[in-house]
Chains A and B, each alone.
Chain A
Amino acid sequence: MSTPAKPVPYPDELSDAWYEATAAGRLLIQRCGACERRQFYPRARCVHCHADALEWIEASGRGRLHSFSTVHYTPNAEFSDDVPYVFALVDLDEGVRVSTRIAGATEEELACDMPVRVVFEAQGELTLPLFEPEDR
């Protein structure tokens, strides 16, 4: 049985803008014009103060590895040929947390809270912001 294609989001105005930016090597998060706090994932209104005055800002791409798991088995067939891979959470320096994968590093090289930086990688028609250890 052939592996199904990787999941591609159905488009909306926010995910279109976000993935257009990743394709250009930019990682976007939202900043609230009313309360000045940042948020991820992108939404129509601020999750903190509920204002609709959100603007995109570009993240530095630096952050810390909050947690990670090496996936050896997945029921999601689109990813079953990719195991083992490292699914992870990264806390960006801008104060938001993102879901991601670690590029080109094995579990032995990783530790919670270690500094990481973004690296953009193609996955089908999408460009994904993955992360790697900063000292790489």
Chain B
Amino acid sequence: MSEIRFPSGEVAIVGAYESPLRKAPGVHPYAIQADCVAGALADAGLEHGDVEGFATAVAFPPEGGDPMEIGEVVEYLGIEPRWLDSTDTGGAAFVSHAGHAALAIAAGFIDVAVVSYGASGRSSPVPAGDYNTGSWGPGAYEIPFGPSTVSSYALAARRHMHEYGTTSEQLAEIAVQCRANAALNPDARYRDPITVADVVESAAIATPLHLYDCCVVTDSGGAFVLASRERAERLSRKPVWMLGFGEAVGQMQMNQMADLTATAAVRSGRDAFATAGMKPDEIDCAQLYDSFTITVALTLESLGFCPRGEFGAFVADGNIAPGGALPINTDGGGLSSNHPGRRGVFAMVEAVRQLRGESPGATVEGARTCLVNGTGGSLSATATTILGV
């Protein structure tokens, strides 16, 4: 296929909502999700009866809940969508849902779609490990050896250090910037500023990653609403247009990752830039999934915002700070604001808020374009979208 096509500028995000909850013991994830769907529809000026398409990521064991099924969520919400998407690529899923929904809307099958998420990663009473897969089949050759999500990402961090001379201090700078952004966000899980020394002296979780290299664990949810151009132009909120999209799967278990220092964002980003007809230097700000500091580092390089192996200098030069060339994770990200287990929905919501001039965290003056990149599993799957106003 020589050219991929996407309905650039034909579909908009017209409503967005992030739950202010961060700790919610005793609250079922569906209850959080129901509030988020209502919040996003209210933001859009739409009602439940307008929802023709619905998407959510369905399997939640890593967030300490029973597995979900999209039919049960639809039943709980009391909606009657004619289009469903339960793609679950972990944290990347909600970015994928946005792309899939845009294609369905542009094709005329639906006019309005809701993407939502709710989880109690912090307080769920259901015990859970954090394996990406079961141990029947492919997992038989990795799970008995004791992988964990943090140690899987740590393997990539170690290899990046070996190949490029990257230091823990360079990774720590990413956590420090996210915390500085979170300090401005009243809903962020943690708001007290931290230093590079705080990060590298925090407890080792899985070397070379420390506690503050890792995202927070919260109970929360979020949702956003997509609509056709015709519908968006009749609504009250400023439309945030979907300009480009890509998604890709790399691997599930770490032994299948040929190059530990590049993620599937090489492919999802390539498609997102191609469909938007844009280049990295045309992006004003970005929400880059920050499950761990290394996730951001590899994503900056894989998307082409800086050369391979050079994220450290890119970050040290102030590029990811407000006022820099590419401010990122302006709400504080998963590292400091909100991460129940699958952060992609919050990255989408923050991109919308930022482009409306309504970020609760750091404001990027005059931002017209925002790239969102989700990363799920163990550097497994990515989805990239470019939004614009």
Contact surface of A with B, Cβ cutoff 8 Å: 6-10, 12, 15, 18-19, 40-42, 66-79, 82, 85, 87-89, 97-101, 107, 111-113, 123, 126, 128
Contacts and interface: CB of A to CB of B under 8 A. Distances in A.
Nearest to B258: A97
20 contacts: A7-B144, A9-B135, A9-B143, A9-B144, A10-B135, A12-B136, A15-B141, A67-B155, A67-B159, A67-B162, A68-B155, A69-B151, A70-B206, A76-B130, A76-B146, A78-B146, A79-B148, A88-B155, A89-B155, A99-B147
Contacts of B127: 77
Contacts of B145: 87, 99-101, 128
A88 B131 CA distance: 16
A87 B144 contact: no
Given A10-B136, A69-B155, A99-B254, 11 more contacts: A7-B143, A10-B140, A15-B141, A71-B146, A71-B150, A73-B205, A75-B130, A87-B148, A99-B253, A107-B207, A111-B162
Chain B interface residue bracket vs A = 35 or more
B71 to A, nearest CB: 26
B44 interface: no
Nearest to A69: B154
Contacts of B260: 66-67, 89
Contacts of B136: 9-10, 12
A85 to B, nearest CB: 6
B278 interface: no
B206 A69 contact: yes
B155 to A, nearest CB: 4
A20 to B, nearest CB: 13
Interface in B110-161: 127-131, 134-151, 154-156, 158-159
B146 A79 contact: yes
Interface in B257-273: 260
A128 B159 CA distance: 24
A68 to B, nearest CB: 6
Contacts, number: 131
Contacts of A126: 144
Interface of B: 127-131, 134-151, 154-156, 158-159, 162, 203-209, 253-256, 260
- 7 tightest A-B CB contacts, nearest first: A9-B140, A69-B154, A10-B136, A112-B162, A41-B141, A76-B129, A15-B140
A8 B129 contact: no
A77 to B, nearest CB: 7
Contacts of B209: 69
Given A12-B136, A41-B141, A71 B158 contact: no
B139 to A, nearest CB: 7
Nearest to B136: A10
Contact of A8 (B144, B146, B256): B144
A73 to B, nearest CB: 5
Contacts of B134: 10
A72 B141 contact: no
Contacts of B156: 67
B166 to A, nearest CB: 12
Contacts of A73: 150, 203, 205-206
Given A40-B255, A85-B146, A97-B255, A69 B140 contact: no
A100 B146 CA distance: 8
Contacts of A128: 144-145
A72 B205 contact: yes
A67 B131 CA distance: 19
Nearest to B147: A87
A132 to B, nearest CB: 14
A41 B138 contact: yes
Given A7-B135, A71-B146, A99-B254, A66 B159 contact: yes
A1 to B, nearest CB: 10
B206 A101 contact: no
A107 B204 CA distance: 13
A44 to B, nearest CB: 10
A71 B129 contact: no
A7 B145 CA distance: 9
